[in-house]
Amino acid sequence: MEYINDLKWTKGMKVKDLVANYQNLGYQSIELKKASDVIVKMKKDSAKVFLTFTSNMVTSGLRGFFAQLIRLKMADIIVTTVGGIEEDVMKASGERFQVGRFDSDDVELHEKGINRVGNILIKNESYMRFEDMVLEILNNLYSKQKRWAVSDMLKEIGLTLSDENSILYQASRNDVPIFCPAITDGAFGFHLYLFQQKHPDFIVDVVKDFGNILLSTSQDEKKGVIALGGSISKHHAILSTLLNGGANYAVYMTTAHKTSGSMSGATTEEAKSWGKVQHESDIATVIGDVSITFPIAMIAALEELSEEGLL
C-alpha cells in the first residue's frame, strides 16, 4: 500500500528528483510522475513515438523544446495543426511574440493591429511578413513538382530554413515526418487556395498523406503516443495506432475534461475501448496546462535517460 509523503526541497535537487517525489504527493502530481515514467519506458523499449501538439503550443516557448526533442530522437512522428507550421516558420525568420495579459483590452489591441493568444501577443505585421514569404515558398515548391503530399511539402520547406530551434528544420534533417491533416485551416491554407487559382495543376494531396501516416508504423512495431492537447492532431496519431494494433504506451496532457465527450478530453483509459491503446499498455493522463506539465515530465525523463547513457 502506498502512502502520501510530505514534499521536501533538498539543495541541488534535479527535476527528476522533484518528479520522483510526485508519486506520493497526491492529485495530478501522481499522474505526472506516471507520465514521465511512461516516456522513459517508450524510449527504452525503442517504441515509435508519435508526438502531437496544437498550434498554441508553438505560439509559446515550447516550440524550441519540441525542436530539441526531435534532435534528441525522442519523437519519430510529429502531428500538428497548421498554425504551428505557420508560427514555426515565422519564428525561424526572426519574428518574436510578446508577453501580454489574459485580461487585456481586446478592442484596443485590435485597433493597434495586435492579436492575442491567451497572454501572448502577435502583431499583424508578423502575419503580413509571413504571407510575403509564402508566395516564394509556393513558387519554389511548384518549380520542383506539381503535386505534394503534405508531409513531403513540409519537409521541403524545413530544408530551406536555417534556424536550429525550428521544428521543421530539425524534422527535415532527422527524417521525422510532420503530418498536418488540416493544412488549410489558417493563413497558409488561404494562400494555397489563392496559388491554386493561378496554378490549377498545383495539388496538395491530403488524402495521400493520410495513407502516409497510416503506413508510418506497423502491427509489429512498439508504438507510443504523447498527445499534448487534443483536436485533429491527437486523433490522427491514435487512429494510426488503432489501425496498427494499438499503442503500447500513451501519455495524454490536456486542460479538457473527460465529461465533455470530446477528443481533447478523452483519456488514455477511454482509448482502450476503441483499441487505440492496448489493454495492457502503460498509460497516463495529466490534466493541466501543458506549458507547465510537459516540460517537467519530459525533463525528468531526459535526466533519467541521460544518466543511463540512453541519450
Tell me the per-residue pLDDT of 91-146, one tens digit each, with 9 for 90 and over. Answer: 999 999 999 999 999 999 999 999 999 999 999 999 899 988 999 999 999 999 99
Query: Which residue is catalytic, options 34, 48, 155, 276?
Result: 276
Active site residue 276: yes
Q: Spell out the domains of the chain, with CATH numbers in brackets.
A: 15-93+147-186+202-307 (3.40.910.10)
Each residue's pLDDT tens digit, 219-278: 999 999 999 998 899 999 999 998 999 999 999 999 988 887 877 777 778 778 887 788
Q: Which of 22, 72, 83, 19 is nearest to 49 (CA)?
A: 72
- Who's near 257: CB < 8 A, 6+ residues apart? 265, 287
What would the pLDDT profile of 277-291 be if each residue is shown by its tens digit? 887 788 999 999 999
In what helix (H) or strand (E) does residue 63 lie, and over which residues does it extend? helix 62-71
CA 158/CA 150 separation, integer angstroms: 12
